[in-house]
Amino acid sequence: MLDLACGTGRITEQLLQRRFKVYAGDISQAMLDVARERLSNYPNLVSLQKMDAEAICAADDEFDYTVCIKLMHLVPPQVRVRMLKEISRVTRELIVLSYSCSTLYGRVRRLVKIIFARRKTISQFAVTKTELEAELGMVNLEIVKKYWTFRPLSEEIILLVKKRSRLGVSEHTQCELH
């Protein structure tokens, strides 16, 4: 299983406790250092790697499953599409993604945070239902199941997705595994 954008390893730890063998990656070395300490009790089940979600250093269909939680709302649509192409390329079976969906409640909530808390909102790249379906369609993924987290208090949706059909083998730049 691939845990992409594993951060400090919270989700990775949950997967390891369920006895999955996990390859965990994040672009931040500082986050990986925290994860390495947190996950030190699982040396035979986890491999931590500095990883860019736009260029995953793995073979096509290398992982049965990929989990990508709390990342998509942080990046603009064109970057998400490139990331989704890579995630789809390296995943054989199912992918778990989280998105922030743009709702009227969410837009008002973000505006209140900006005005009163004087800070940027975390979900700066929330998507509408139409945008989400279009984005997944661009990379030949389809939604199998949707789970809303704390609806209507949260805009977060967890998606279980899969490839629509088997694509031809893609060419991918060779990279050095650490």
- For residue range 148-158, what is the model confidence (pLDDT) as tens digits? 887 666 778 89
Answer yes or no: is pLDDT of 63 > 70: yes
Q: Which amino acid is located at 176 in the chain?
A: E
Tell me the pLDDT tens digit for each residue of 13-53. Answer: 999 999 999 999 999 999 999 999 999 999 999 999 999 99
Establish how many alpha carbons lie within 13 A of residue 101's alpha carbon, considering only the half-sphere containing its beta carbon: 22
Residues in CB range of 123: below 8 A, 6 or more apart: 73, 100, 106, 110, 155
Answer yes or no: is pLDDT of 117 > 90: no
pLDDT band at 173 (very low <50, low <70, confident <90, very high): very low
Task: Round to whole Å and give the CA distance between 104 and 112.
Answer: 12
Whole-prediction pTM value?
A: 0.82
| pLDDT at residue number 67 | 98
Percentage of the chain exceeding pLDDT 90: 66
Q: Does domain 2-163 have CATH number 3.40.50.300?
A: no
Closest CA to 127 of 66, 164, 84: 84
Please give the average per-residue pLDDT across 170-176, as a whole number.
43
Task: Round to whole Å and give the CA distance between 2 and 23.
Answer: 5
| pLDDT at residue number 100 | 86
Q: Which residue has the higher pLDDT, 121 or 171?
A: 121
Q: Which amino acid is located at 144 in the chain?
A: V
- Average pLDDT across the chain, whole number: 86
Q: Which residue has the higher pLDDT, 174 or 20?
A: 20
Task: Round to whole Å and give the CA distance between 102 and 108.
Answer: 10
Per-domain residue ranges of the chain: 2-163
Kindly report the CA angle at 6 between 26 and 111, in degrees rounded to 5?
95
User: Is the link from the previous residue into 76 a cis peptide, with omega within 30 of 0?
Assistant: no
Cβ neighbours around 147 below 10 Å, total: 12
